[in-house]
Amino acid sequence: MYNKTDGLIEQHIHGAFGVDFTNCSPDDLLYAASELAKCGITYFFPTLITNDIGKIKAQIKNIKIAMLKQKYGMSEIAGIHLEGPFINPKKKGVHKEEYILPLKIELFDEIFDDTIKIMTLAPELDTEDFRFCRYVKSKGIKLSAGHTLTTDISEVCQLTHIFNGMDDFNHRKVTTPIKAFMSKTHYMELIADSVHVNDDLMRIVFAKNYVDRTLLISDALPLSHADCDEMTFAGNTIKKADGMLVNENGTLAGSALLLNDIIKNVVKKNIFMFHDAISMASYNQSRYHKLPNNAVVLWDEDYNIEKVSFL
């Protein structure tokens, strides 16, 4: 018995197969695009973490070159997801604080390129009546609240890796996740690797009520599907430890799984039904980003990728 689906769409991925999207050549990015296609991921948004402005600009140029050199059968680069540098240092995670910037339009203009389609930021730091947020949105960029302490999500359309990089649920005060779940329109990224979010919480919160607004992501790092156990990423030494990726201080970083691995994880554990997982990893993103389906993915009875056929 086989399951046939559309291609998966990954909107938050920092690298895989030993390739670091924040610091790699166009050819390395094309190699990763070929490998991602074998995993059923037929569109992806290379995600750039907080870094020196000059390095961010240089990597945007490399990604643009790779986009021009892409070939049929590769996972297609749909745009760039810029995670930082306009985030809250109190929720920085593995982002280096020395590169975090204030929300100033002139700093954004130094980085801006029309390939940037998503930007993760901390809206609470926009102190000029959301002037920064509105300016960024005027450039056609989807804003996502992440690495944040905000309780006002009115100027964003999504939440970056919900529960991670923000305050937790709290029965005595309003927090970012509570605002997200009270909304009827905001999308929420979810790293469903059983590390970043507890399995039972996923069963309780997501499975019944929020399938249509959940975007499964991997937040994968270059160590995902790499033949080594340690790499440098964004100034951190990242190691594999008991299925997790952590820096030298033990801070949880991105995931060791890719999006197809995450689908297998949640289905085999009976967290989500297969068709719901596919909705959250493919159909929702297709609708959200207005991306046409470009492939047919065949899954075997154990939810492994059997074949990917591009249209």
- Inter-helix orientation angle 26-38/53-69, to 10°: 60
Token pair 């991670």 in the structure block, residue:
164
At 89-107, the pLDDT tens digits run 999 999 999 999 999 999 9
Token pair 């995902």 in the structure block, residue:
224
Instruction: Specify the pLDDT at position 249.
Output: 87
> pTM for the complete prediction?
0.96
CATH of the domain at 19: 3.20.20.140
At 228-248, the pLDDT tens digits run 889 999 888 999 988 889 888
Instruction: Specify the pLDDT at position 226.
Output: 94
Helix, strand, coil in percent for the chain, rounding step 5: 30, 25, 45
Instruction: Specify the pLDDT at position 243.
Output: 83
For residue 29, give its domain range. 3-310
Assess whether pLDDT exceeds 70 at residue 1.
no
Instruction: Specify the pLDDT at position 128.
Output: 83
Say how many domains are in the chain: 1
In our burial notation (b when 16+ CB lie closer than 10 A, e otherwise), range 254-263 reads bbbbbbbbbb
Instruction: Specify the pLDDT at position 205.
Output: 78
At 128-174, the pLDDT tens digits run 889 999 999 999 999 999 999 999 999 999 999 999 999 988 788 99
Share of the chain above pLDDT 70, in %: 99
Instruction: Specify the pLDDT at position 125.
Output: 97
- Listed residue (143, 149, 198, 207) closest to 178, CA to CA: 149
In which band, very low, low, confident or very high, does the pLDDT at 39 lie, cut at 50, 70 and 90? very high
